[in-house]
Amino acid sequence: MRTRILLTFGVGALLLSGVLFFFTYTLTRSNLREREGELGLSEQLISETLGSVRASLILATVITVLVGLVLGIVSSERVVRPLAGAADAARAIADGRLDTRLEPTDDPDLNALTDSFNAMVARLQERVERDARFASDVSHELRSPLMTLAASVEVMVSRRDELPERGQAALDLLVADVARFSGLVEDLLEISRYDAGAVRLTRDDLAVAEFVQQAVQASSMPRSTINLDPRCTSARLNGDRRRLARVVANLLDNARAHGGGAATVHVTPADDSAGHVWIAVEDSGDGVVDIDLERIFERFSRGTGSSKRGTSEGAGLGLALVREHVRLHGGRVWVESRRDGHPGARFVVELPCDALLAG
Ligand SMILES: Nc1ncnc2c1ncn2[C@@H]1O[C@H](COP(=O)(O)OP(=O)(O)O)[C@@H](O)[C@H]1O
Ligand SMILES: [Mg+2]
C-alpha cells in the first residue's frame, strides 16, 4: 500500500512536469525562431537561450519529482499508520487483551472505522465476560449444596458398618462421585477466575528441590521417585506454592489414571535456556498420540485413548488448568515422548528460576 501511494505521487509529479517541460520548451523555441529575423537574433544567442531554458526546466522537473515523492511518503505514512494501529489492536485482542481500544483520530473518515471497531470489541468483551460469569456463577451455586452433600456422606461413611452390604456398595459409589463432582466444581471455579482475569498469584520464593518433594508427597502418588539434577540443588523460583503444587498433583494424577500408574519426576535445567528449570513427569503408559499433543491441553478435551480405556475419572479440565497456572508464572508446558526410548508420556513444565549451577 505504502509503495503504491509513493508510486502514484512519483509518477504523477513526473508526468506533470514532463508535460510542462514539453510545452514550455517547444513554445519558447518556436517563438524565438518566428521572431528571429524581426529582432535580429544571432543563432548563437538563440541556442544559448534555449540551453538555459532546458537546464532550468530539467532542474524544475527534478525538484517537482522530489517534492512529489516527499509528499507521497508523508501521505502514505498518514494513511498507513492508523491501519498498523488497527492491526496491532486486533493482535492484542486475539491474545486476550479485550480491553484494547483504538484511539479516536482527527479524521472523520477514519473515525467511522475506529468507532465501529471499538463497538465490536466492546460487545465481544461483554459477551466473553458474561460467559465467564455464567460458569463462575454456576460453580458457586453448586458449591454449597455440594458441601452439604459431602458433609452428609461423611456422616454416613462414619456409620458404614451399620449399613447392609448393598447399602455399603451404594455408599462407596456415592463417595467417589461426590469427590469427583467437588473436584470438577473447584476446577471450573478456578478456570472461570482465569477467564475473568481475576487470578492473582500469591508468590513466594521457593527452593525448587524442596518444593517438588512436598508437592509429590501431597499428591495422589506420594511414593513417586524424584530425580534431581545436581545443578538444581540450590535452584529457586518465584511462584505460587499452592498453584504449582496443583500442577504437579494434576500431572501425577494423570500418570496414575492414564499413564500406567507409576511416575518419575525429573528436575533438570532447561536444555536451551540458562534461566529456566524443567520439572518433568514421566510415566510408562501408552504415551500420547501425535494428534493429541496439543489438544489435550484444551478444556474438556480428553485424549483419543481415554474413552477406549474407559477411564471415567476426569472431565478433561486438569491439563487446561495446568497450562493456565504455568502460563501465569511465565512458563510453558508440553508433552513429548520419553527421552530414554521407553514407551510412556513425558510432561515437561518449564519455569523461570534462579541459582542454577553451571554444568
Ligand atoms: N500421562 C498421560 N498418558 C497418556 N495420556 C494422558 C496422560 N495425561 C493426560 N493424558 C490424556 O490427556 C487427556 C486430558 O487430561 P486432563 O486434562 O488431565 O483430563 P482428564 O484427566 O480429566 O481426562 C486425558 O483424557 C488423557 O487422554
Ligand atoms: Mg487429569
Do the beta carbons of residue 279 and residue 265 sit within 8 Å? yes
273 or 208, which is more confident: 208
Q: Residue written as cell 458398618? A: 161
Q: Can you give the pLDDT at residue 351?
A: 97
Shortest-distance ligand to the CA of residue 292: 1
332 burial via Cβ count (<10 Å: 0-12, 13-18, 19+): middle
The closest-lying atom of ligand 1 relative to the alpha carbon of residue 314 is 22
- The predicted pLDDT at position 196 comes to 78
> What confidence score (pLDDT) does residue 220 get?
92
Tell me the ligand closest to 255's alpha carbon. Answer: 1
pLDDT at position 306 is 63
- How far the first Cα of the chain sits from its last, in Å, is 52
pLDDT given for residue 358 in this prediction: 65
pLDDT in tens, 82-111: 888 889 999 999 988 888 998 888 888 888
Question: For 294-331, b where at least 16 C-beta lie within 10 A, e where not — what string?
Answer: eebbeeebbbeebeeeeeeebbbbbbbbbbbbbeebeb
What is the per-residue pLDDT across 118-128, written as a single tens digit (0 to 9) for each?
Answer: 999 999 999 98
- pLDDT single digits (tens) 151-173: 999 999 999 999 999 999 999 99
Please give the pLDDT value at position 42.
82
Tell me the CA–centroid distance for residue 258 and ligand 1, in Å. 6
> Which residues place a Cβ less than 5 A from the ion ligand 2?
254, 314, 318
Looking at the predicted structure, is the pLDDT value of residue 274 above 90? no
Q: Phi then psi for 267, rounded to 5 degrees?
A: -115, 115
- Structure confidence at residue 359 (pLDDT): 59
List, for residues 55-83, the tens digit of each pLDDT value.
999 999 999 999 999 999 998 888 888 88
Instruction: Identify the DSSP state of 91.
Output: H
Check whether 131 has a pLDDT greater than 90.
Answer: no
Condensed to tens digits (0 to 9), the pLDDT of residues 185-240 reads: 999 989 888 887 778 899 999 999 999 999 999 999 999 999 999 999 999 999 99
Task: Give the whole-angstrom CA distance, residue 130 versus residue 142.
Answer: 18
Please indicate whether residue 344, judged by its CB atom, sits closer than 6 Å to ligand 1.
no
**Which position has the grid cell 491439563?**
319
CB count in 10 Å sphere of residue 353: 23
In this prediction, residue 273 carries a pLDDT of 80
Contact 117, 170 (CB under 8 A): no
Confidence bin at 29 (pLDDT 50/70/90): confident
The span from the CA of 278 to the CA of 171, in Å, is 42
* Per-residue confidence (pLDDT) for residue 133, from 0 to 100: 85
Cα of 53 from ligand 2 centre, angstroms? 86
- Report whether residue 269 contacts ligand 1, using a CB cutoff of 6 Å: no
Cβ contact 14:68 at 8 Å = yes
Q: What is the pLDDT of residue 194?
A: 86
Res 266 pLDDT > 90: yes
Judge if the beta carbon of residue 318 lies within 6 A of ligand 1. Answer: yes
The C-alpha atoms of residue 182 and residue 169 are separated, in whole angstroms, by 20
- Mean pLDDT, rounded, for 259-286: 93
Which of 302, 326, 337, 348 has most ligand 1 atoms within 8 Å of its beta carbon, as the pocket-test mutant? 302
Indicate if the pLDDT at residue 357 is higher than 80.
Answer: no
CB of 266 within 6 A of ligand 1: the answer is no
Residues 351, 296: contact at Cβ < 8 Å? no
Distance 92 CA to ligand 2 centre (A): 31
CB-ligand 1 contact for 259 (6 Å cutoff): yes
306 lines ligand 1 (CB under 6 A): yes
The response to whether residue 321 sits with its C-beta less than 6 Å from ligand 1 reads: no
Give the residue, by CA position, lying nearest to ligand 1 atom 13.
302
Per-residue pLDDT reduced to its tens digit, 291-350: 999 999 999 888 886 654 445 567 899 999 999 999 999 999 999 999 999 999 999 999
User: What is the number of the ligand closest to the CA of 320?
Assistant: 1
- E strand intervals along 18-131: none
Return the DSSP state at 98. Answer: T
